[in-house]
Amino acid sequence: MRKFLSFRSRHLHDRTLKPSSNAVASSPSDGGKPHREDALYEYEYLPEGYIRILELLPGALEDPLRCKLVPVKLSEAPNYAAISYVWGDNSVTDVLHIGDKILRITLNLRDALTRLRFQHRPLSLWADAVCINQRNLAEKTHQVQIMGLIYYRASLVNVWLGNLSTDEQT
């Protein structure tokens, strides 16, 4: 069982998601195959006052996660949802496909994106681990300073509480 809390207009919505019978267990969506270094996603420069919106492409629960990253001026950003979550163990990762490149993400973020994704239409999201270049200290510092505004401007904030243990499901 998976649990989300969604905040919209200062109202709390609790949405419990039940596991799908066709959900993939904890095996990575890339089949554990190694990827060439040149296939890793490389971030483009992000000007001050801009953010990246993750456009999560539609797919079924068992499909690989695919997205586009779109830079937008924060003051002119289209509607987007934000996600708040615990990163989890950085040493255990899975793959997010950005075009023909990949970005390693934690299993906790993978689970959240898998459950948030729509089957038939894209979803515009802001998730810090993906939308901020974590290897660029200047960008990361600036983006962290405006995170309150990023969450404030989101039309919806989803809080991912993670997978419930067997004890918590009873």
Q: What is the 3-state secondary structure (H, E, C) of 65-114?
A: EEEEEEEEEHHHCCCCEEEECCCCCCCCEEEEEECCEEEEEEHHHHHHHH
Q: Is the pTM of this model over 0.85?
A: no
Per-residue pLDDT reduced to its tens digit, 142-169: 999 999 999 999 999 999 988 766 555 5
DSSP 161: E
The pLDDT score that the predictor gives to residue 167 is: 56
Per-residue pLDDT reduced to its tens digit, 75-134: 999 999 999 998 888 888 999 999 999 999 999 999 999 999 999 999 999 999 999 999
* CA atoms of 170 and 164, how far apart (whole Å): 10
Per-residue pLDDT reduced to its tens digit, 93-104: 999 999 999 999
What strand order describes the sheet that includes 65-73?
11-17, 2-8, 156-163, 81-84, 123-126, 50-56, 65-73, 93-98, 101-106
